[in-house]
């Protein structure tokens, strides 16, 4: 079996994560106030917030908020930050985790919305952002990298423009957390959304966001409930992370993230990135030799992350994916990958593509085997 679907989910937990989860599940659970060193759930949460804070260069670990994943984080940021009559910008490579909540708000008359056109390879020019800004633009949502084309978008440049106009920025790092170094922390975006089960190597169903000071004041809570803090009040606390974390948390998911992000920090994101780039270079170099393959997204490894979308001449995407699995045991993903906008950008809508995405455990021999299989089709 060759796993080439890391962009959807990471295939296995590391031995260190498995060990700590096993110990946790087998033990007793002395649940106590969150962020209390020494008491179980709170200590685990704080441990994870510290590791994630370091990963995203957020000085204050309490600005790390846990959710069920990037989808919930993006919904919370979008719905919490916009107000009736606002104008919102987002790019033409966004995942449905962004596109659907925004379209819902637009169709229900809450916001006006512009989808910023990207080049066919998925890239975007910061000037496109500037030109689309209106007096009432309040929010700009952008993927750090396309989950279909792999293209890295110029987040820093685009958000610098947004900041000039006092527009809140939300960065979807579902495809880049743990893979691309973040050099400017929440200075880069007001909200950075991440998910646990892809590049971060945690369990599915855990994720979160890192939020800046002003956005945390402006963002309305997505839900209300008990926080174990200021319990005498019938209002949600205004302080972080309690403002956005009602109810009992997913401690086992949070623990998986604490351990896996600590490992990432020990290895170093730069190292992980270097290896991913070398695997991608090997794969794309090989693809270019195969005539039947049309490759979408940038070819240069420094302009992209791991997901590589292709069309195999003579096969529809689903057929090609099935064939690769049944004949060669290669697990890819076919179709629109929850991002019809990216396919409209690339010209592969509605047929979709076969997406290969290699990751941390991929060996060079597996890439060569995948290339060999494609050349036989
Ligand atoms: C770019 C992008 N955004 C958001 C998501 C949603 O992540 P999750 O399903 O973990 O909430 C994904 C996952 O496929 C993604 O690739």
DSSP symbols for 28-67: ------TT-TTSHHHHHHHHHHHHHHHHTT-S-GGGEEEE
Residue found under tokens 């600005």 = 63
d(CA 97, ligand 1 centre) in Å: 6
Ligand 1 pocket member 70 (CB < 6 A): yes
The answer, yes or no, to whether residue 185 has pLDDT greater than 90, is no
Ligand 1 pocket member 174 (CB < 6 A): yes
pLDDT computed for residue 173 by the predictor = 96
| Per-residue model confidence as pLDDT tens digits over 69-100 | 999 999 999 999 999 999 999 999 999 999 99
Residue 319's SS3 state is: helix
The answer, yes or no, to whether residue 33 has pLDDT greater than 90, is no
pTM of the model: 0.96
Mean pLDDT of 237-244: 97
- Binning pLDDT at 50, 70 and 90, where does residue 265 land? very high
Tell me the domain boundaries of the chain: 2-10+269-376, 15-267
Query: Which ligand 1 atom is the nearest neighbour of the CA of 74?
Result: 4
* Cα angle value 121/111/352 (rounded, 5°): 30
Fold held by 15-267: 3.40.640
Query: Which ligand 1 atom is the nearest neighbour of the CA of 338?
Result: 14
- Binning pLDDT at 50, 70 and 90, where does residue 27 land? confident
d(CA 375, ligand 1 centre) in Å: 31
Domain 2-10+269-376: state its class: alpha beta
Nearest to 190, CA basis, from 165, 209, 164: 209
């Amino acid at each position: 079996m060759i796993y080439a679907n890391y962009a959807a989910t990471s295939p296995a937990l590391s031995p260190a994560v498995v060990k700590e989860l096993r110990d946790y599940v087998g033990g007793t659970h002395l649940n106590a106030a969150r962020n209390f060193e020494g008491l179980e759930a709170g200590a685990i949460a704080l441990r994870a917030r510290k590791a994630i804070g370091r990963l995203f260069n957020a000085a204050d670990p309490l600005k790390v908020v846990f959710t069920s994943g990037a989808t919930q984080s993006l919904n919370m940021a979008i719905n919490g930050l916009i107000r009736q009559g606002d104008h919102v910008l987002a790019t033409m490579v966004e995942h449905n985790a962004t596109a659907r909540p925004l379209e819902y708000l637009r169709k229900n008359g809450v916001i006006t919305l512009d989808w910023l056109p990207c080049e066919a390879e998925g890239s975007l020019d910061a000037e496109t952002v500037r030109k689309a800004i209106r007096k009432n633009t309040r929010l700009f949502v952008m993927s750090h990298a396309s989950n279909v084309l792999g293209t890295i978008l110029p987040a820093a440049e685009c958000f610098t423009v947004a900041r000039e106009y006092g527009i809140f920025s939300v960065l979807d790092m579902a495809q880049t957390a743990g893979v691309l170094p973040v050099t400017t922390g929440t200075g880069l975006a007001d909200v950075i959304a991440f998910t646990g089960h892809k590049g971060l190597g945690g369990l599915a169903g855990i994720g979160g966001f890192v939020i800046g000071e002003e956005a945390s004041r402006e963002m309305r809570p997505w839900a209300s409930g008990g926080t174990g803090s200021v319990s005498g009040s019938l209002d949600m606390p205004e302080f972080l992370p309690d403002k956005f974390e009602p109810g009992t948390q997913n401690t086992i998911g949070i623990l998986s993230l604490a351990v896996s992000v600590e490992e990432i920090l020990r290895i170093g994101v730069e190292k992980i990135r270097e290896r991913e780039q070398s695997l991608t270079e090997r794969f794309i170099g090989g693809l270019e030799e195969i005539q039947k393959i049309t490759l979408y997204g940038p070819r240069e490894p420094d302009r992209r992350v791991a997901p590589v979308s292709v069309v195999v001449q003579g096969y529809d995407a689903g057929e090609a994916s099935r064939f690769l699995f049944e004949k060669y045991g290669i697990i890819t993903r076919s179709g629109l990958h929850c991002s019809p906008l990216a396919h409209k950008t690339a010209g592969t809508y509605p047929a979709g593509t076969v997406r290969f995405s290699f990751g941390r455990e991929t060996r060079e021999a597996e890439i060569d085997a995948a290339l060999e299989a494609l050349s036989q089709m």
